[in-house]
Amino acid sequence: MVAIPIALTIAGSDSSGGAGIQADLKTFAALGVYGASAITALTAQNTKGVAGIHAVPAEFVTAQIDAVFSDLDVKAVKIGMVAQLATIDAIAASLMRWSPGHVVLDPVLVATSGDRLLATEAVERLRTGLIPRASLITPNLPEAAALLDEPIASDEAAIERQGRRLLTLGCRSVLIKGGHGQGSESIDYLVSGHGTLALPAPRIATQNTHGTGCSLSSAIAAGLAKGEDLESAVRHAKTFISAAIAAADRLGVGHGHGPIHHFHRFY
- Enumerate long-range contacts of 57-64, CB under 8 Å, 24 or more apart: 58/84, 58/86, 58/87, 58/89, 58/90, 59/90, 61/10, 61/87, 61/90, 61/91, 62/90, 62/93, 62/94, 64/37, 64/38, 64/39
Nearest to 179 by CA among 71, 261, 260: 260
φ/ψ of residue 238, rounded to 5 = -65, -40
Say if residue 209's pLDDT is above 70. Answer: yes
Confidence band (pLDDT; 50, 70, 90) for 83? confident
Judged by average pLDDT, the poorest of 54-68, 192-206, 218-232 is: 192-206
Q: Is the pLDDT of residue 112 over 70?
A: no
Q: Averaged over 58-84, what is the pLDDT?
A: 97
Please determine, for residue 141, whether its predicted confidence score (pLDDT) is greater than 80.
Answer: yes
CA distance linking residue 143 with residue 81, whole number of Å = 13
Q: How far, in Å, CA of 244 to CA of 160, rounded?
A: 27
Contact 188, 175 (CB under 8 A): yes
Amino acid 190: pLDDT? 98
Residue 181 has pLDDT above 70, yes or no: no
Mean pLDDT of 102-122: 76
Coil/strand/helix, residue 99:
coil
* Catalytic (active-site) positions: 177, 209, 211-214
In this predicted structure, the answer to whether residue 201 has a pLDDT above a threshold of 90 is: no
Question: Kind of pairing, strands 195-202 and 185-192?
Answer: antiparallel
> Which residues make Cβ contacts (< 8 Å) with residue 17, sequence separation at least 6?
23, 259
In this prediction, residue 87 carries a pLDDT of 95
pLDDT reading at 165 higher than 70 = yes
Pairing label, strands 173-176, 185-192: antiparallel
pLDDT value of position 2: 79
The arithmetic mean of pLDDT across residues 121-129, rounded, is: 88
Pick the closest to residue 47 from 248, 237, 233 (CA basis): 248
Q: Enumerate the domain spans of the chain.
A: 6-250
Work out the pLDDT band at 113, boundaries 50, 70, 90: low
CATH superfamily of 6-250: Ribokinase (3.40.1190.20)
How does residue 120 score in pLDDT terms, banded at 50, 70 and 90? confident
Task: Read off the pLDDT of each residue in 129-148 and give the average, rounded to a whole number.
Answer: 94
Question: Does the structure show a pLDDT above 80 at 111?
Answer: no
Q: Are 126 and 84 in contact (CB under 8 A)?
A: no
Q: Could you tell me the pLDDT band of residue 182, with boundaries at 50, 70 and 90?
A: low
- What 3-state DSSP class applies to 90? helix
In angstroms, rounded to a whole number, what is the distance separating the alpha carbons of residues 104 and 94? 15
